[in-house]
Structure 1
Amino acid sequence: MWIKILWDPPTPSTYFIPHHCVLKPESVTTKLCVVFDASQKAANGFCLNDTLLLGPKLHQDVSCVLSRFRLHSVCFTADIRQMFRQVLVAREHQDFQRILWPFPSEPIKEFRLRTLVFGIRSSPFLAMRCIRQLDKEHSYEFPEACAVLQDDIFVDDIVSGSDSFSGAIQLQTQLTEVLSRAGLELQRCLTI
């Protein structure tokens, strides 16, 4: 989500994130992708990524996730639809996520990005922290799904399974329910 900024002038701590688009006409879901560069140095010699803490590593090692995946009789893969775009950034931190956007035959407009942005070093930690919170809040009601959120996920990709087809479908249903409670959507479920 973007908010147009007309009333809120930049302050000395405002950061404008350089960005450009990448066109992918062959893509079914995302024909235009915006790439953000929070590593671009500002006038003071620092970039946004220089000033942010990375946060502790919350995601599992990908080789461990893939090794566990191979142990299931019935496997499935899925991803969390636009995960970064579903996580709101605190209002007081949104000024560090401003962009200038050119519209054809209109003046350039300023926007404040309200959600996590790819290209900012803290975004993966913050997204995974939200998943950990979901796990914590729903582990009693959906223990199997929350175990998947803890062990069988790498950023926004889920690779898991069960000993039976019905078990895999039930697990997908539980994951869909847990994620929907936070406004997240499971997509591209493929059962093998």
Structure 2
Amino acid sequence: MAVPTSQGPLPLRLDRAKAPCTVQSFVHLARHRFYDRTVCHRLTAYPTLKVLQCGDPTGTGEGGPGYQYKDELPVDLPPAPSDPTGVRRLYGRGVLAMANAGPNTNGSQFFVVYGDSALRPNYTVFGTVGAAGLKTLDKIAAGGIEPTTQDPAPVDGIPVLRTELLGVRPSCRP
């Protein structure tokens, strides 16, 4: 799927075998231009969570398409090496997954992993980011997170480099 952004390309490879409902919903929203001109509203830089979150039409982290659907949780993620309990799983660099607000609350928000992250396996993995997209993610992450008066050195917040999805379209190319 072609995902041009204001910071560069973010080509995605969708995995219908692992997450058929998620891919169907994502493609449906893309075809109906739901993602066009939306911003990626969240960047994290925790040692064990490095993601860029996008897909909210309001840009606040609260918006969605007006519907929710069931999780299609991953069963093949390896344990996160940083988690001695074995509960967290490794969402590796380049993974594309759905953001959610709890069980079965998938909508339109998704995240792309720019650095290996240790998370509970509560997020539907539905694809990967192509090589050009990893370069774009690195550029966005290197820009940092907007400081606030409450947090002059944040590890979670709005990316300094405004990243706008310019026209998400299904394509045959990765």
Shorter-chain TM-score bucket reads under 0.3
Structure having the higher helix fraction is 1
Q: TM-score, normalised by structure 1?
A: 0.22
Q: TM-score, normalised by structure 2?
A: 0.24
Structure number with greater CO (CA < 8 Å, separation at least 6) is: 2
